[in-house]
Structures are given as structure tokens and as C-alpha cells.
């Protein structure tokens, strides 16, 4: 059988996780790489034995008509142009999160996918985690009843990655578009993908990237450059999102915040039970007239080993067998509408309706 030929646009940090996922699949072949950073492109080509190397996505797409699928792993500002070009060239696309810089770009990407008839999958990798799978088994069994309130938290005490992440022209924003996007998507997914109708949000830029700290810790992007990095994005966001079925989600995400330590968890509360993913899955309910807590034998916390592999394997299965995608473009568009509305609400200091 002919192997599925894969192109990667943007061969930086996260591309390595995509590459590892493709390498695990016997029916895939790493076929071509593209990156505007020529030195990195060459190094990654040598590392992975890929010889078709391009500094321009259009040149790659023109030179390799036989490509079947493309992972878009660039800075956020290039997601739309690279995905649209690949879709127009007839390729299936897996685009990293966030889908785009804003909802307008996301809608243009979805339109390109609809017109090409090719798959546009969004890399909402948390949907493919073992912890999400565990919770979804209970959702599907009706354990929780109706979800009506949720909390999505992704707070870093001093975790601005530096490099392009703090440069709004390349990232589109700070912790909301980079971190919040993961937990907003995961909670909405578990709650059954309700339509967002309005948000109230506030963003802050009080502490910046805290690059001056002596004991700041990790999170550095490959391009981080303490002296020259731009930081013109928010460092904290807090928002309430209202959905059409009455579900309300409270979100907090930060790059810098005066808290004891980093926090990453989601909680959803339903009429029959609630759960927290913190990081183990725990379920809170009542039984036979008692408040009861359910915890699990063995670990249910998110295992990064296999996480991207699950996502990539699903993408390739969808490409091969035309299966329904678990993280389709339309969900990416809805999430971008939420993010746009939060930034708008923060600016206007009013609730913003989402159409
Ligand atoms: N799913 C996750 O958990 C996760 C984790 C980290 C990053 N990401 C996402 O992955 C993307 C990349 O992040 P990263 O940390 O790998 O960044 P990175 O800077 O390490 O890599 C991005 C690469 O894209 C290249 N690039 C930029 N514009 C390009 C263009 N127009 N054409 C070709 N190449 C281009 C850059 O030169 C760079 O090498 C971002 O969208 C980020 O949000 C997702």
C-alpha cells in the first residue's frame, strides 16, 4: 500500500510531537518540511532524514503535489495562510491550536476546507487525553446529568514562554489564546459542545513576562531572548462564558500572577454529579442518602506519553477512512468566537454577545 505522505509547515518545538506521532504509524511517511527559519529547517531535515526542504509553503505545495496531509505547526499568525494554501492545494490539514488569530480567519479556513472537501482538523490535543477519555465514559453513561456550571483554570505563576508568544503580532494574545484555549475547549467538549452566546471578560497586564526573576523556572520558547523579546499581550485573563443551553463557564489563565504555584484543572458541575480533573479525575455525587466521592484505582491523570500520538493517529484514520473528526474546524471557529469576544469585552468593559 502507498504510504500517506506528510508535510510539516513550521518545524519548531511542537512539530517534534507531531513528527513522533507520524513516525509511530507504519503507513505514514515524513515527506517534506517547510520553515522560514532556514537553519532550523536544515537541522530538522537532517535529524529526521527528510530531504525535501522548503522555506516557502507555496513552493513546497507546488513541488510536492503528491503530499496527502499537512501539519501546520507555525506561529499562530501563519495558521490561516498556511492551512488555506494547503487546503486549496487539495491537502488534508491538521492545524495546531489556537485555530487562528481571530474568528474571521478561522471562518475563512473553514470555508477553504468546505470548498476543497478536505479535512481541516484542529489540534485540540486535550480532547485526546486519557483523562478526557475517562470522563467521557462517565458522560456517555449519563453519570453527571445536566452540566450547568464549569471552571477552567490554567494559571502560571511565572510562565511566559518568551519569543513569539509575547509578541501580539505573531501570537494574537497571551495566556487566553495560548493556555485558556486548551481548557475552554476541553470543558466545552465535555459539556457537549454547546453554542456560546455571550461573554464577560477582563484582561490584565500588570506583571509582564517577569523575565527579571532569578528563580523563574522553565517554559522558555526555542526563540526566547531575554533582552529583545516583545511582551505586548495580557498576563492574566478572567472571563465568564454563557452558552445557549444555560451552561456557564468561568475561566482563568495567566502567564504571570502572584499565586502560590501553578494551577491547571477543570471542574464541571452537573445535576447528578460533578467532577474535577486536578490532575486525577474525581467524581462528586450522592448515593443512598450520602454525599460520596468516586476516585479511581490506578492513575487517571493526564499522561503526556501517547497524547499527541493519539491525536495524530486519529487525524490519519480520518484521512484514510473519511471518519467523523473528533476536533473539527467548526469547533475551532466557535472557540475563536469566544476568544474574540473575551478580548472585546476586556476592551469595552461590557458583556459581549456572540452571533
Ligand atoms: N497543542 C499544544 O499543547 C501546543 C504546545 C505548544 C505549542 N502549540 C502551538 O504550536 C504552534 C507552534 O508553537 P511552537 O512552540 O512549536 O513554536 P516554535 O517557535 O518552536 O515553532 C514554530 C515554527 O514555525 C516557523 N514559522 C513561522 N511562520 C512560518 C511560516 N509562515 N511558514 C513556515 N514556518 C513558519 C518558525 O520559524 C518556527 O520554527 C503554535 O500555534 C502553538 O500555539 C501547541
What would the pLDDT profile of 39-82 be if each residue is shown by its tens digit?
999 999 999 999 999 999 999 999 999 999 999 999 999 999 99
Pocket test for ligand 1, best of 10, 16, 17, 93 (most atoms within 8 A of CB): 10
How far is 66 from 63, CA to CA, in rounded Å?
Answer: 9
Residue 171 makes CB contacts below 8 A (sequence gap 6+) with: 75, 76, 77, 164, 165, 177, 178, 233
pLDDT digits (tens, 9 = 90+) for 177-192: 999 999 999 999 999 9
95 lines ligand 1 (CB under 6 A): no
124 lines ligand 1 (CB under 6 A): no
Could you tell me the pTM of the whole model?
0.97
Identify the pLDDT of residue 211.
85
Q: Where in the chain is the domain with CATH 3.40.50.720?
A: 4-123+308-326
From the number of C-beta atoms within 10 Å of its C-beta (0-12, 13-18, 19+), residue 301 rates as middle
Average pLDDT over residues 91-111: 98
CATH number for the domain whose boundaries are 127-303:
3.30.360.10
How is domain 4-123+308-326 classified at the CATH fold level? Rossmann fold (3.40.50)
CA distances from 350 to 10, 50, 202, 336 (A): 37, 51, 9, 19
34 lines ligand 1 (CB under 6 A): yes
Pairing of strands 263-270, 274-277: antiparallel
Q: Where in the chain is the domain with CATH 3.30.360.10?
A: 127-303
123 lines ligand 1 (CB under 6 A): yes
CB atoms within 10 A of CB 152: 26
How far is 25 from 146, CA to CA, in rounded Å?
Answer: 38
18: three-class secondary structure by DSSP? helix
pLDDT digits (tens, 9 = 90+) for 230-272: 999 999 999 999 999 999 999 999 999 999 999 999 999 999 9
Identify the pLDDT of residue 220.
72
Amino acid at each position: 500500500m502507498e504510504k500517506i505522505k506528510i508535510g510539516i509547515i513550521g518545524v519548531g518545538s511542537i512539530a517534534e510531537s507531531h513528527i513522533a506521532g507520524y513516525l509511530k504509524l507504519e503507513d505514514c511517511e515524513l515527506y517534506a518540511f517547510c520553515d522560514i527559519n532556514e537553519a532550523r529547517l536544515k537541522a530538522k531535515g537532517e535529524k529526521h532524514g527528510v530531504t525535501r526542504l522548503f522555506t516557502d509553503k507555496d513552493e513546497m505545495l507546488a513541488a510536492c503535489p503528491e503530499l496527502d496531509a499537512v501539519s501546520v505547526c507555525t506561529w499562530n499568525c501563519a495558521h490561516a495562510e498556511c492551512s488555506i494554501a494547503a487546503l486549496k492545494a487539495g491537502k488534508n490539514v491538521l492545524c495546531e491550536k489556537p485555530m487562528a488569530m481571530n474568528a474571521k480567519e478561522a471562518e475563512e479556513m473553514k470555508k477553504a476546507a468546505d470548498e476543497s472537501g478536505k479535512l481541516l482538523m484542529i489540534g485540540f490535543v486535550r480532547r485526546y487525553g486519557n483523562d478526557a477519555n475517562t470522563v467521557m465514559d462517565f458522560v456517555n453513561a449519563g453519570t453527571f446529568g445536566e452540566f450547568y456550571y464549569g471552571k477552567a483554570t490554567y494559571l502560571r505563576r511565572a510562565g511566559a514562554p518568551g519569543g513569539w508568544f509575547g509578541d501580539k503580532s505573531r501570537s494574537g494574545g497571551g495566556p487566553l489564546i495560548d493556555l485558556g484555549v486548551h481548557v475552554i475547549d476541553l470543558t466545552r467538549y465535555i459539556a457537549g459542545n454547546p453554542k456560546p452566546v455571550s461573554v464577560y471578560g477582563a484582561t490584565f497586564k500588570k506583571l509582564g513576562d517577569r523575565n527579571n526573576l532569578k528563580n523563574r523556572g522553565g517554559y522558555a520558547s526555542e526563540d526566547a531572548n531575554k533582552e529583545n523579546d516583545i511582551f505586548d499581550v495580557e498576563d492574566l485573563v478572567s472571563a465568564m462564558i454563557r452558552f445557549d443551553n444555560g451552561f456557564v463557564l468561568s475561566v482563568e489563565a495567566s502567564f504571570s500572577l502572584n499565586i502560590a504555584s501553578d494551577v491547571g484543572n477543570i471542574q464541571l458541575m452537573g445535576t447528578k454529579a460533578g467532577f474535577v480533573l486536578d490532575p486525577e479525575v474525581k467524581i462528586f455525587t450522592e448515593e443512598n442518602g450520602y454525599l460520596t466521592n468516586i476516585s479511581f484505582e490506578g492513575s487517571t491523570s493526564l499522561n503526556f506519553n501517547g497524547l499527541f500520538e493519539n491525536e495524530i493517529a486519529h487525524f490519519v484514520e480520518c484521512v484514510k477512512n473519511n471518519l467523523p473528526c473528533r476536533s473539527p474546524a467548526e469547533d475551532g471557529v466557535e472557540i475563536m468566537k469566544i476568544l474574540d469576544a473575551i478580548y472585546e469585552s476586556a476592551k469595552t468593559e461590557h458583556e459581549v454577545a456572540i452571533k
